[in-house]
Amino acid sequence: MIVRFGLLGAGRIGKVHAKAVTANPKARLVAVADAMPQAAADLAGQYGAEVRTIEAIEAAADIDAVIICTPTDTHADLIERFARAGKAIFCEKPIDLDVERVKACLKVVDAEGATLMVGFNRRFDPHFQAVKAAIAEGQIGAVEMVTIVSRDPGAPPADYVKRSGGIFRDMTIHDLDMARFLLGEEIDTVSAQASVLVDKAIGAAGDYDSASLMLFTASGKHATISNSRRATYGYDQRIEVHGSRGAVAAENQRPVSIEIASASGYTRPPLHDFFMTRYTEAYAREISAFIDCVESKSPASPSGADGLIAVALADAALKSVEEGRAVKVSEITGPLADKSVFQGR
Amino acid sequence: MIVRFGLLGAGRIGKVHAKAVTANPKARLVAVADAMPQAAADLAGQYGAEVRTIEAIEAAADIDAVIICTPTDTHADLIERFARAGKAIFCEKPIDLDVERVKACLKVVDAEGATLMVGFNRRFDPHFQAVKAAIAEGQIGAVEMVTIVSRDPGAPPADYVKRSGGIFRDMTIHDLDMARFLLGEEIDTVSAQASVLVDKAIGAAGDYDSASLMLFTASGKHATISNSRRATYGYDQRIEVHGSRGAVAAENQRPVSIEIASASGYTRPPLHDFFMTRYTEAYAREISAFIDCVESKSPASPSGADGLIAVALADAALKSVEEGRAVKVSEITGPLADKSVFQGR
Amino acid sequence: MIVRFGLLGAGRIGKVHAKAVTANPKARLVAVADAMPQAAADLAGQYGAEVRTIEAIEAAADIDAVIICTPTDTHADLIERFARAGKAIFCEKPIDLDVERVKACLKVVDAEGATLMVGFNRRFDPHFQAVKAAIAEGQIGAVEMVTIVSRDPGAPPADYVKRSGGIFRDMTIHDLDMARFLLGEEIDTVSAQASVLVDKAIGAAGDYDSASLMLFTASGKHATISNSRRATYGYDQRIEVHGSRGAVAAENQRPVSIEIASASGYTRPPLHDFFMTRYTEAYAREISAFIDCVESKSPASPSGADGLIAVALADAALKSVEEGRAVKVSEITGPLADKSVFQGR
Amino acid sequence: MIVRFGLLGAGRIGKVHAKAVTANPKARLVAVADAMPQAAADLAGQYGAEVRTIEAIEAAADIDAVIICTPTDTHADLIERFARAGKAIFCEKPIDLDVERVKACLKVVDAEGATLMVGFNRRFDPHFQAVKAAIAEGQIGAVEMVTIVSRDPGAPPADYVKRSGGIFRDMTIHDLDMARFLLGEEIDTVSAQASVLVDKAIGAAGDYDSASLMLFTASGKHATISNSRRATYGYDQRIEVHGSRGAVAAENQRPVSIEIASASGYTRPPLHDFFMTRYTEAYAREISAFIDCVESKSPASPSGADGLIAVALADAALKSVEEGRAVKVSEITGPLADKSVFQGR
């Protein structure tokens, strides 16, 4: 089976997915839509796809699935439209910045029986998958403490920050999902502290650029997250899991593995410059996993529920910063009907 | 000048100091006291020192300085006695488990003009000193985030735990001091979460064996600490400092640096088995620094004030766990007269 | 421009090139030929190419270039045929096992003005290219000593060994080319020692499975090569260059960069399992470089002359083993008309 | 038992041994002799020893053992004198630059039944000992290929070079001994190439500063050695052993294990600056092993025979450079009566 794709949004992340789709022998990029006609035409032209409107993609018989890479505030609406149109949906995170809107959206997805995968690409990174596999094989015993260091190479412009929902919903959300993925148990409370150390314009926009988080599960497992919007040494992406019988860690990645020795020491090059080069393989595997879901009609993972919880964790972090206390996730989500979000993994 | 030492306490840490003193060409171990006469005799005999009572050491004309390695609940009393006796004092951490008792003790030290160094040995580790030096040289710019991972190879017996004052005052206290040392700014709030994952007997004794901490300064700098009482892979002691222009990290240490490759992978040996082997060089340098203080009559560092603040930070951590909120250090200490504890470093 | 390719040979290395060609946006795989019709059909089918005979490819107007992956004893004949047919030629190493046959072949290439690139894929590995770049930028000063460790994960079957021309012409040839590439000066003498330590069947077939080589240039630069046909820990591929101002090294590569810590130590996974996974990126860059040559009609590098010298170095190594002495390369090649094989790099 | 030492020679290496002896609880430094009275007085004074003449040490009843650190051309004579005087002897390498003189000296040692240990300190390095232990435990199967990289941080003055016997007898001799130690089988042939790349004055003095060696055993095991007199990045001391079931390597050592990350990459400090700091622990263990020999009256290892063979290997290397061929060690030594130099290890 070949899965025929429509791509909604031809921006930075849209290009990443277009490349992953066209390199996959089980996928075909049929159409690209974008509010900027030139952007759509350029990307479509590069890969021999057509430019179409969103409406046309919605109605098309030759489209099996869509990839939603449009601005965040359009995600939930588009998910609902394409769920109703009977297309399989891959949506970039977050589903929405508002937890209630996410819940409403997921009800539609559920009612329509649509396939929805949320774009937590890092779960598909081969190194992080190897960490997860080591845990699953029992190599470190019971998971006890997850440590995530996640730092961007440079801060985004302050007006991006405004639209993004802030550092927790935009950046930390990936780490929150990764922490859940690795803990293997729902997070009960979130404690966070945040400050502006990198760029005052970010503070002026009402956001933070430096944050620390502690996550705690009901059984007493820990996770910590360290975020900064600026690491001069490159895109710093490390995870480490300590367990009852050992520990497993994924090291940082760099484009080339050389070391130069001189009178001033031994130097290896900086890390990857950002997610497009760091997670190239993760994006390819992510689309491949989505295609497998579409083909096998099996539940997608990460699911809509994963997307919901990640947003709730981000909200809990923000509330913790504001109130100087540990915030229960259930304060944000209310009681969740489906507790079994870890099923199937 | 040769500094002539009396050693109070011939237990595990007493032996470590006896070795450091006798290997130092500027020091001489004159006398050993211990409540267990045989322990005192064995250690004194090994290094050609005499067995004496504490009273005799207090009165001795041939003793310039004492090293206090007795049980914690005797520290403050002994510091006061030897301050009055005109001896220079090196005291193992903590000064006391009670902040008010520490304050009272430090008043006596101050009134007597005594030299008092508190045993935060890790400040003298060559690798950590190199981290500190890199910061001082401006190699990473302004310090923003300190990350400390500190895990013991195995849990202590539950009845040790009871006497010790709990994980924060016994184990984390070293990391709290290191965080202050590296942040270069006083800690304003402490958030902590803790659980019992390693040994239920520790829980039954009212303590925790797994803890995470977030520290925050007035200017918005962060530090995180990850503690566990059990790391199967050895004594895990890592520090990392992220700054505006870069980062610096001290790697874990192992007894031998070999790597064995086979069909199952590339394996390096486990880490050091505990602090006696991991911090051998730190203990030697610590005593050497103390001797320099005695010789030059300059203020000791880490000082009594450093010892006080470390205990207060540990108390704040415990309070944070109990109350589920960020605790201000000033809630514990009250207003501190001397804010300038970072002077001289 | 799109370069249209005919692929001669659908075996293991043919598949590697088919993948690289079809993934390259500037290339198209038009036809596949193989003595085994089913092999040709399978590979052609996978990538939407046609099955054709060699004769048909030779005569085809819709083929710009060929990739020769047939058995070694057909390389020189095919190069000559396709040079005469006006096609650009990429040929797997070696051109021929006989230096005189190589020379004769290169005369035809030269007379026809054909583009010929020889498949020393490692020159295109991003890590090794970064080593070369560091040298070119003067980061290690003048090159003095090149150290190459190159070990296969497992020994080939003895009857492959017979056809291959022996370890020096089959395996070491890559390292000899790499040594030349990095030394930046022609090799003057070769000393080698070799033995059978891995598989007696290899010895029975008249070959060796373990070899050491020392190379020496006229100006006194050194290179050493260590080869084994069996490394239990994976495909061991390291290079290191020591110079007057420093050194540069390329580390081994593994599929995932994780480390698992336990009571038995810290373990990273084995290396890549062989060249197909280790040099995936190198093969892609190699074809890309070849396409650039075809497009720009510039001289190919590695050239036919590079292929000739590599075979001569392998012959010199064998002669050194047989005679227990340092062998001058000129004993094998005779005087070379074109000394300037390093030009253009 | 306390072994009472006389130290002959108060130069650079004499100081290293004085420190190791005085730090060892089973040893006492009784007397120091040196042709320069002030040097002897300074070193003796530092450790509370006496200055004596060689004759006085020879005759002394309160001296059990001597450490010979005088110039090389006095070693053999002094060994003979102290063997006859009934003292245990530790002698710095080499015993003599002339193989025949070494043989004659060892006959005297043998006739007197004296204990003689030769100072191949690297055998006592904890990291290299761990490599040896891994081999002995069968972790890498049968040893097949030993790779030694050994580079000094800077070239010695040309007039030192003249006295030293040249690079092979002065510097490579350590690596030759290490290769034998790790191969576990006698070396049959030596091939070497050498050049002057670092300092022309060394060439003018008739020596080389850059050398490569290949060693070969009768059963076909390989060793390679890479030597340079100048490594800007510090004292480069690596060994690696490849075997039938795996490989083991000892990494380079540096004074502190930190890493600084910045926009220009990840930098670790240079290596140790030379053997005094790199091999501090090896020197301590070496003296400790010698004391054990004296105490237990067991044969010393490395023995006089080890010293003899190392010199012969160095001679073979020089001959190989001069004659451009693989040189059999037996060409240098003649038939050796005692083939069992590997016994007891």
Kindly report the number of other CB atoms within 10 A of residue D274's CB atom. Answer: 14
What would the two tokens of residue C152 be?
Answer: 């296969």
CATH number of D3-122: 3.40.50.720
CATH number of C3-119: 3.40.50.720
Q: How far is CA B233 from the centre of its chain?
A: 22
| pLDDT of amino acid D343 | 39
Q: Quick one: pLDDT band at residue C162, thresholds 50, 70, 90?
A: confident
Contacts with A130 from chain C: Cβ below 8 Å:
256, 258, 269
CA-nearest residue of chain A to C244?
A262
Amino acid making up residue D141: G
Q: Look at residue C344 and tell me whether its pLDDT is greater than 50.
A: no
Q: Quick one: pLDDT band at residue C159, thresholds 50, 70, 90?
A: confident
Please, what CATH class does the domain formed by C122-333 belong to? alpha beta
Over range D9-37, report the average pLDDT.
94
**Four-residue CA torsion sign, B329, A325, A243, A220:** positive
Taking Cα atoms as reference points, which of A182, A185, A254 lies closest to residue A225? Answer: A182
| pLDDT of amino acid A337 | 58
Q: Look at residue D345 and tell me whether its pLDDT is greater than 90.
A: no
Over range D34-61, report the average pLDDT.
95
Q: Give the chains touching A; criterion: ≥3 Cβ pairs < 8 Å.
A: B, C, D
Per-residue DSSP letters for A71-83? Answer: -HHHHHHHHHHHH
Q: What is the CA radius of gyration of chain C?
A: 20
| pLDDT of amino acid B312 | 97
Q: Which fold has domain A123-333?
A: Dihydrodipicolinate Reductase; domain 2 (3.30.360)
| pLDDT of amino acid D158 | 87
Q: Look at residue D74 and tell me whether its pLDDT is greater than 90.
A: yes
Contacts with A211 from chain B: Cβ below 8 Å:
222
CA-nearest residue of chain A to B144?
A197
Max Cα–Cα distance, chain B, nearest Å: 66
Q: What whole-number distance in Å separates Cα of residue D246 and Cα of residue B220?
A: 50
Q: Look at residue C345 and tell me whether its pLDDT is greater than 50.
A: no
Integer distance in angstroms from the first to the last C-alpha of chain C?
A: 24
Amino acid making up residue C203: G
Q: What whole-number distance in Å separates Cα of residue D3 and Cα of residue D8?
A: 16
Amino acid making up residue C196: V
| pLDDT of amino acid A305 | 96
Taking Cα atoms as reference points, which of B70, B115, B80 lies closest to residue B101? Answer: B80
CA-nearest residue of chain A to C267?
A248
Q: Which fold has domain B3-120?
A: Rossmann fold (3.40.50)
CB A82 within 8 A of CB A58: yes
Contacts with D149 from chain C: Cβ below 8 Å:
147
Per-residue DSSP letters for C246-309? Answer: EEEEE----S--EEEEETTEEEEPP--SSHHHHTHHHHHHHHHHHHHHHHHTPPPSS-HHHHHH
Q: Which fold has domain A3-121?
A: Rossmann fold (3.40.50)
Taking Cα atoms as reference points, which of B49, B130, B123 lies closest to residue B93? Answer: B123
In which residue ranges of chain A is pLDDT below 50?
339-345
Q: What whole-number distance in Å separates Cα of residue D75 and Cα of residue D70?
A: 7
Contacts with A232 from chain D: Cβ below 8 Å:
261-263
| pLDDT of amino acid D1 | 77
| pLDDT of amino acid C244 | 98
SS3 content of chain C, % helix, strand, coil (to 5): 40, 25, 35
Is residue B94 reached through a cis peptide bond, with omega within 30 degrees of 0 on the bond before it? Answer: yes
Render pLDDT for C226-260 as a digit per residue (tens, 0 to 9): 999 999 999 999 999 999 999 999 999 999 999 99
Q: Quick one: pLDDT band at residue C262, thresholds 50, 70, 90?
A: very high
Q: Does the distance separating the beta carbons of C246 and A262 come in below 8 Å? A: yes
Q: Does the distance separating the beta carbons of C261 and B232 come in below 8 Å? A: yes
CB C126 within 8 A of CB C282: yes
Q: What whole-number distance in Å separates Cα of residue D301 and Cα of residue D279?
A: 18
Over range D213-222, report the average pLDDT.
98
Render pLDDT for A133-153 as a digit per residue (tens, 0 to 9): 999 999 999 999 999 999 999
Coil, strand or helix at C213: strand
CA angle D56, D61, D65 (to 5 degrees): 80
Q: What residues are paired with B211 via a beta bridge?
A: B194, B227
**How would you list the strands of the sheet with D116-119, edge to edge?**
D50-51, D27-33, D3-8, D65-68, D88-92, D116-119
SS3 content of chain B, % helix, strand, coil (to 5): 40, 25, 35
Q: What whole-number distance in Å separates Cα of residue B114 and Cα of residue B297?
A: 10
Q: Compute the count of residue pairs across chains C and D with CB atoms less than 8 Å apart.
A: 112
* Digitized pLDDT (tens) for each residue of chain B, 345 residues in all: 799 999 999 999 999 999 999 888 899 999 999 999 999 999 999 888 999 999 999 999 999 999 999 999 999 999 999 999 999 999 999 999 999 999 999 999 999 999 999 999 999 999 999 999 999 999 999 999 999 999 999 999 988 988 889 999 999 999 999 999 999 999 999 999 999 999 999 999 999 999 999 999 999 999 999 999 999 999 999 999 999 999 999 999 999 999 999 999 999 999 999 999 999 999 999 999 999 999 999 999 999 999 999 999 999 999 999 999 999 999 999 877 554 444 433
- E-assigned strand segments in chain C: 3-8, 27-33, 50-51, 65-68, 88-91, 116-118, 143-151, 187-195, 210-217, 222-228, 236-243, 246-250, 258-262, 265-268, 327-328
Render pLDDT for D226-240 as a digit per residue (tens, 0 to 9): 999 999 999 999 999
Residue D252 distance to chain B (closest CA, Å): 8
Q: Look at residue D336 and tell me whether its pLDDT is greater than 80.
A: no
Instruction: With residue C200 as reference, give the H or E element that holds it.
Output: helix C200-204
Contacts with B228 from chain A: Cβ below 8 Å:
144-145, 242
Domain parsing of chain C, residue ranges: 3-119, 122-333
Token look-up 């909200």 returns A315
Over range D91-97, report the average pLDDT.
95
Q: Does the distance separating the beta carbons of A212 and B193 come in below 8 Å? A: no
Coil, strand or helix at A253: coil
Asked if ipTM goes beyond 0.90, one says yes
Q: Does the distance separating the beta carbons of D231 and C247 come in below 8 Å? A: yes
Q: Does the distance separating the beta carbons of B267 and C266 come in below 8 Å? A: yes
Over range D314-319, report the average pLDDT.
98
CA-nearest residue of chain B to A211?
B222
Render pLDDT for B4-32 as a digit per residue (tens, 0 to 9): 999 999 999 999 999 999 888 899 999 99
Coil, strand or helix at D97: coil
Q: What residues are paired with B232 via a beta bridge?
A: none
Q: What are phi and psi of B56, to 5 degrees?
A: -65, -40
Contacts with C250 from chain A: Cβ below 8 Å:
256-258
**How would you list the strands of the sheet with C65-68, edge to edge?**
C50-51, C27-33, C3-8, C65-68, C88-91, C116-118
Coil, strand or helix at A70: coil
Q: What whole-number distance in Å separates Cα of residue C118 and Cα of residue C75?
A: 11
